[in-house]
């Protein structure tokens, strides 16, 4: 096939989501009970939950709502841990802290879908379930053990065997899958914009094009310095994700960057659509090279590809099609209509957390590749704490932990993903997989 570049480097969500009213930049001297830095799901969910209860909120977003990882994401709602297990989290965090975090993760899908329904947010929400398949010969046993580990907390997980996985997904090579009925898919940019609209309607003051330049102490609270003014607030939530380290020194070098390319194909031909994810669930596998697919509302397949150099790969269309052909039971070459680059910021241990920085100063450090659900529910938890309904110790709280050897370590996630993909393709070509 001839390789064509996608029409534009833009996300399919930008094309599908109607252009929002642009919010003003913040100017002059502002005051708020709570100031929030960052307009992704974490910041906007916190703003919405606080505004629902009448607390005075001001939120500044450097660009536009959803411009960060939220709007770049695939919109998979996966109420799951990433590359770790409940028992490993229990061992690391202890019974108390782990059970609070695990309960939040377990509840995160239902919470997200309920929230958008309650607020009538039009974001193509599809609560059809999340499928996490696995390839190894021992997959059935491994996944049965994962379900057993979740059992004290949730009963909404089940295992699909090889035959059922093929029927559910239209993908080959998987031996078993974890099926989570509380997951699904969402248009993440429409979600961010919808959260902003609802928070604003409930009284939150929201600003776009307003980067927080500096954060410092002020009498009785904190001061955020902006290009044309400042906000003084008793409490501040830092929710700038990959940019958190630029806002507070303690957060520098605490998260690893992971550039990922997302693409959306042309709408699938009927023959493919009938076989690939006929139930419209979202799929992200549990392999090292992470294969993920889901549909947009107009029937395009969204899938990801590792970015080995931080940019869009050469011959992207050919590479994506090769991967789809290797995995899907039915395939014909697909045009790539949209391609975009996102930057995830992952904790080294992949465990989502809220970081206590100082009195009245908290940060969300929860981007673990499953952040849409978990960061939204963390917004609810932060709001509950700020409103006095929760004690700090009841949040999944942790200290800022700089990653040792950060200058080298920051390349590891990107290299691991690209190497795993290369290794799998090589094995396939040699007939070993």
Ligand X SMILES: Cc1cc2nc3c(=O)[nH]c(=O)nc-3n(C[C@H](O)[C@H](O)[C@H](O)COP(=O)(O)OP(=O)(O)OC[C@H]3O[C@@H](n4cnc5c(N)ncnc54)[C@H](O)[C@@H]3O)c2cc1C
* Residues at the interface with ligand X (CB under 6 A): 37-43, 60-63, 67-70, 72-76, 78, 211-212, 239-241, 243, 247, 260, 262, 342-344, 364, 367, 369-373, 375
Q: State which residue, 116 or 175, has the beta carbon closest to ligand X.
A: 116
Closer to ligand X by Cβ: residue 166 or 347: 347
Tokens for 272, please give them.
Answer: 């493919």
**Residue with Cβ nearer ligand X (110 or 175):** 110
**What whole-number distance in Å separates Cα of residue 292 and Cα of residue 69?**
17
Q: Closest separation between CB of residue 406 and ligand X, Å? A: 19
d(CA 121, CA 117) in angstroms, rounded, equals 6
Whole-angstrom Cα distance, residue 89 to residue 99? 9
Return the number of the residue (72 or 251) whose C-beta is nearest ligand X: 72
Cα 380 to its chain centre, rounded Å, is 16
Q: Which is nearer to ligand X, 239 or 339 (CB)?
A: 239
Minimum separation from the CB atom of position 362 to ligand X (A): 13
Beta carbon of residue 206, minimum distance to ligand X (angstroms, whole number): 11
Burial 362-386 (b: 16+ CB within 10 A, else e): bbbbbbbbbbbbbbbbbbbbbbbbb
The CB-of-277 to ligand X minimum distance in angstroms stands at 14
What are the structure tokens assigned to 5, written together?
């570049």
Give the integer Cα–Cα distance in Å for 188 and 155: 27
Q: What is the nearest approach in angstroms of ligand X to the Cβ of residue 98?
A: 20
Q: At closest approach, how far in Å is the CB of 282 from ligand X?
A: 7
- Nearest by Cα to 22 from 198, 228, 196: 196
CB of 240 to ligand X, least distance (A): 4
Q: Is the CB of residue 363 less than 8 Å from the CB of residue 248?
A: yes
Q: Write down the residue that tokens 């709007």 correspond to.
A: 71
Which CB sits closer to ligand X, 110 or 241? Answer: 241
- Note whether 179 and 160 are within 8 A (CB): yes
Least CB distance from residue 323 to ligand X, whole Å?
A: 16
Picking from 353, 368, 289, the residue whose alpha carbon sits closest to that of residue 80 is 368
Q: Which is nearer to ligand X, 229 or 333 (CB)?
A: 229
Token reading at 59: 């939120």
The distance from CA 131 to its chain's CA centroid, rounded to whole angstroms, is 16
Residue with smallest beta-carbon separation from ligand X: 371
Q: How far apart are CA 163 and CA 11, in angstroms?
A: 34
Would you say 105 or 268 has its CB closer to ligand X?
105
């Amino acid at each position: 096939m001839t390789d064509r570049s996608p029409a534009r480097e833009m996300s399919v969500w930008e094309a599908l989501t109607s252009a929002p009213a642009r919010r003003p930049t913040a100017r002059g001297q502002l005051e708020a009970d709570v100031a929030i830095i960052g307009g992704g799901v974490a910041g906007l969910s916190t703003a919405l939950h606080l505004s629902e209860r009448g607390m005075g909120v001001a939120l500044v977003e450097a660009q536009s709502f959803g411009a960060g990882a939220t709007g770049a994401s695939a919109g998979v709602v996966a109420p799951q841990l990433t590359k770790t297990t409940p028992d490993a989290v229990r061992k690391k965090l202890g019974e108390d802290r782990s059970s609070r975090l695990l309960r939040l993760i377990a509840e995160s899908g239902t919470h997200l879908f309920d929230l958008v329904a309650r607020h009538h947010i039009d974001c193509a929400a599809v609560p059809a379930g999340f499928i996490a398949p696995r390839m190894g010969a021992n997959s059935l046993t491994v996944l049965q053990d994962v379900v057993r580990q979740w059992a004290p907390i949730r009963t909404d997980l089940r295992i699909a065997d090889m035959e059922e996985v093929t029927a559910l997904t239209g993908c080959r090579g998987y031996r078993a899958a974890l099926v989570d009925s509380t997951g699904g898919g969402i248009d993440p940019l429409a979600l961010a914009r919808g959260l902003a609209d609802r928070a604003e309607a409930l009284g939150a003051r929201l600003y776009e094009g307003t980067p927080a330049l500096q954060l410092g102490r002020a009498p009785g609270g904190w001061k955020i310095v902006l290009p044309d003014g400042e906000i003084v607030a008793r409490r501040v939530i830092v929710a700038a994700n990959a940019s958190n380290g630029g806002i507070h020194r303690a957060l520098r070098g605490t998260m690893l960057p992971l550039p990922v390319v997302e693409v959306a194909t042309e709408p699938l031909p009927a023959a493919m659509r009938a076989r690939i994810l006929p139930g419209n669930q979202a799929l992200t596998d549990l392999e090292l090279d992470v294969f993920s697919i889901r549909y947009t509302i107009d029937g395009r397949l969204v899938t990801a590809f590792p970015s080995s150099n931080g940019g869009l790969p050469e011959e992207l269309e050919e590479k994506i099609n090769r991967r789809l052909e290797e995995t899907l039971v039915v395939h014909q070459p697909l045009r790539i209509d949209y391609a975009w680059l996102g930057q995830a910021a992952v904790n080294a241990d992949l465990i989502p957390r809220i970081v206590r920085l100082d009195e009245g100063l908290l940060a969300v450090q929860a981007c673990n590749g499953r952040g849409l659900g978990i960061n939204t529910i963390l917004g609810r938890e932060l709001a509950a704490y700020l409103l006095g309904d929760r004690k700090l110790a009841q949040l999944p709280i942790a200290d800022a932990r700089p990653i040792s050897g950060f200058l080298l370590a920051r390349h590891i996630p990107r290299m691991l993903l690209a190497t795993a993909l290369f290794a799998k393709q090589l094995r396939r070509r040699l007939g070993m997989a």
